[in-house]
Structure 1
Amino acid sequence: MSGAEADGVVVWVDGRLVPAGAPALDAVDHGLTVGDGVFETCGFEAGQPFALTRHLARLRRSARGLGLGDPDEDLVRRGVAEVLAATPDPGRLRITVTAGPGPLGSARTSSRQTVVVAAGPAGPPHPARVVRVPWTRNERSAVAGLKTTSYAENVVALARATAAGADEALLANTVGELCEGTGSNVFVERGGELLTPPLSSGCLAGITRELVLEWSAAEGLPVREAAPGELAWSVLDDVVRGGATLALSGSVRTFVPVVALDGEPVEVGPLTARVAALYAVRAAADVDP
C-alpha cells in the first residue's frame, strides 16, 4: 500500500502518516486476504469531517456484526485529525479497520486490528444517473447491513453502470424488493411521499439516509421508511413511465435527485427538491449532527 500524498491522497496507518511508497500493510492482513474488515467514508471540509460521531458508531456496529472487537475510537480520531491536518482541500475521508494479520484462509487468529485512515479529493455532489443491474442483495446474508471491506459485488455492479454511462447501479434483494445502490441508499417519490427501503430489505443503514429521515420529520415533510414489501423492484418501471421519481443519498454524494434511469431522462420530484435544499441547509449548520 502506498502512502501519504500519492495522487492527492494522505494515508495514516496504525499511528503514523505513511510516506509515499513506504511499506504500510502486512501482506497477510486479513482485510487484504479475505476482506475481513469494516470501513466508513464521510466528506470533510476545512479539516472537519461530517457526522463523524455517527460514522464511528456505525463502524463499531459493523465491527461487532463481523465478530471483531470494538475499534479503538481514540486511535481512530487521532488518525482522522492527523490526516485532515495534512489535507487542505475538501474531499473524502475513509476509515478502515481490519482483523489484522491472519492466516491465508478464513479462520481468524489475530486480536491486533489494523487501522487505516486516508483522505483524498472528491468532486462536488451532482444529480445522479443510474441503471438497473441483474444482481441482487442477499437480505439474509451474514453481513447484510454491515459496511465491510468485502466490496467485490459493488465493484462489478458499478463497473456495469459506468460502462452504460451512469454513475450508480441499483440492486433488488432476493425477494424482488428495491434495495439500494452500490454505495448509496435510494428514495422513491410517489403519491406525495418520499420513501426509502426498510433496513429489512438488506440495505445499509446509511448515515445520510438517517439524517434525511430525521430532518424531514422535524420539518413535517412526508418522508419515511417504507413498509416491508411496499417498494417492489417494479417501482422502477413506474419511474420510467413518469409515475414516480428517484433520489440517492450517500455520505459524499449527500442527497441528490436522479435525472436518468437506464439511459432515459427522468423528472426530479418536487418533494425531492425540497428535501435536497433542506439537507444542504442543515448539513451546513452542523458538522457533527
Structure 2
Amino acid sequence: MVHEQGAKLCFTADDRIFLGEGLFETLRVVNHKPCYPKAHWQRLKKAASFLGLALDVSFEVWLEKLNECIKLHALQEGGIKAILCSGRAPRGLSARSKETSLTLIAFQYIRNSQPLSLLSVPWLRDAKNPIYQLKSINYLEAIIARRHAEAAGVDDALFFNFQHHATETTIANFFIIKNDQLLTPALHCGVLPGILRERLLCLGKKQGIHCFELELLKADLLQADAAFTCNVLQGIRPIRAFDNHVLNVNHPLVTKLNHFLALDEP
C-alpha cells in the first residue's frame, strides 16, 4: 500500500487501468480521523471480489494505513482517495492481472453546503448494468453529464433508467421528502450503494422516520416537499431546483437529518 501526495501514480502501457478496470473509495477525514472506514473497506472488498481483483488487506491494516496517511500529511479536515489499481496483464479484454496495488491519496477539502440545481440527463441508463453499483474509476459518463449540466447553467445532472426511474446524480445519491417520509431510489434501479445513503436510512429508521427504497419517477420529484443529494464528502445538499422546478430548501426534516449525522459515530 502506497501513500501519495497528489497525483503521482505511474503506469505501464499494459496496465489494466487504461481499460477502466479499477476501483476507488473516497473517505472524509474529520478531526484527524477517517469517517466510516469499515463501511468503505467492506464496499471496496465486495466490488474487488466481483471484478476478481485481489485485495488482501484486513480491516485492521486498512484502518492502520488510513491513520498513517492522515498523520503523514497532517490532515485535520479533508479526504483520502483510496485507489485499487488492477495492474499489468497481457493484451485482451478478458485478461486478468495477478498483482493489484492500493494507493492512498490525501487531499484538503472544504464542504459546500449551498443548495444546488439539477437537470435530467438526456439519455437513459440500463438498471441491470452492474457497473452502476461499483465505485469504478471509469467516470466518463458522469463527466459528460456534468459538463452538459454546467453548459446549461445548472450545477449537476440526475440520471434515469430505461424504466424512467430516477437513480443518482453524477457524484451523489439523492432523496426526496414527501409527507415527512424519506424516499430514495432502490438499488435495483441501478444505484451505487452509497455509504451516507445507508447511514441516513439507518438513522432515519432509528428516529422513527418512515424510510423507503423504491422506484421514483420524475413526477415524484416534481411533487416532493423537498429533495437533497448526499455523499460522504459533501454531506447533505438541498436541491433548490430540478428541471427549472423550484423546491423547498429549508425543510425541517433536512435539519433533523443533519443533526443525526453530526451525532453519528463514523
Q: Provide the TM-score with structure 1 as the length reference.
A: 0.82
**Are 2:248 and 1:270 equivalent residues in the alignment?**
no
Deviation at 1:277, TM superposition (A): 2.5
**Are 2:14 and 1:28 equivalent residues in the alignment?**
yes
Partners of 2:167 and 2:6 lie apart in 1 by 39
Equivalent in 28, 53, 60 of residue 43 of structure 1 = 28
Equivalent in 220, 229, 234 of residue 208 of structure 2 = 220
Contact 2:29 2:75 in 1 (8 A): no
Deviation at 1:263, TM superposition (A): 4.7
Contact 1:71 1:97 in 2 (8 A): no
Deviation at 1:202, TM superposition (A): 0.7
Partners of 1:163 and 1:185 lie apart in 2 by 22
Deviation at 1:71, TM superposition (A): 4.4
Deviation at 1:19, TM superposition (A): 6.8
Deviation at 1:42, TM superposition (A): 1.6
Work out the number of aligned pairs and report it.
Answer: 262
Partners of 2:119 and 2:219 lie apart in 1 by 13
**Are 2:189 and 1:207 equivalent residues in the alignment?**
no
The residue identity in structure 2 corresponding to 1:249 is: C
Partners of 2:95 and 2:179 lie apart in 1 by 49
Contact 1:40 1:147 in 2 (8 A): yes
Secondary structure, in 3 states, of the residue corresponding to 1:225?
A: strand
Equivalent in 70, 75, 78 of residue 84 of structure 1 = 70
Contact 1:30 1:103 in 2 (8 A): no
**C-alpha spacing 1:257/1:101, structure 2 compared with 1 (3 Å):** same
| Corresponding residue of 1:279 | 261
| Corresponding residue of 1:156 | 144
Bigger mean CA deviation after superposition, 205-214 or 44-53:
44-53
CA offsets 1:224-252 (integer angstroms, 9 cap, x no match): 322xx3x11332333xxxx5321111010
The residue identity in structure 1 corresponding to 2:51 is: L
Q: Please list, as runs of the form range in 1=range in 2, the aligned pairs for 1:47-196 lying within 5 A after superposition.
A: 47-73=32-58, 76-85=62-71, 86-126=73-113, 127-196=115-184
Bigger mean CA deviation after superposition, 51-60 or 74-83:
74-83
The residue identity in structure 2 corresponding to 1:97 is: L
Partners of 2:177 and 2:88 lie apart in 1 by 46
Q: Structure 1 regions of 5+ residues with no counterpart?
A: 1-13
Q: Provide the TM-score with structure 2 as the length reference.
A: 0.88
CA offsets 1:38-65 (integer angstroms, 9 cap, x no match): 1111210232110011000000111112
Deviation at 1:194, TM superposition (A): 1.4
Partners of 2:192 and 2:6 lie apart in 1 by 33
Partners of 1:156 and 1:71 lie apart in 2 by 34
The residue identity in structure 1 corresponding to 2:124 is: T
| Corresponding residue of 2:237 | 256
Partners of 1:206 and 1:163 lie apart in 2 by 27
Partners of 1:26 and 1:144 lie apart in 2 by 27
Identity %: 26
**C-alpha spacing 1:122/1:163, structure 2 compared with 1 (3 Å):** farther
CA offsets 1:245-282 (integer angstroms, 9 cap, x no match): 21111010112321232355421233233222322232
**C-alpha spacing 1:111/1:261, structure 2 compared with 1 (3 Å):** same
Deviation at 1:18, TM superposition (A): 4.5
Deviation at 1:23, TM superposition (A): 6.2
Cα RMSD of the aligned pairs, angstroms, is: 2.3
Bigger mean CA deviation after superposition, 92-101 or 64-73:
64-73
Deviation at 1:78, TM superposition (A): 4.6
Q: Structure 2 regions of 5+ residues with no counterpart?
A: none
The residue identity in structure 2 corresponding to 1:80 is: L
Partners of 1:261 and 1:169 lie apart in 2 by 9
Contact 2:34 2:67 in 1 (8 A): no
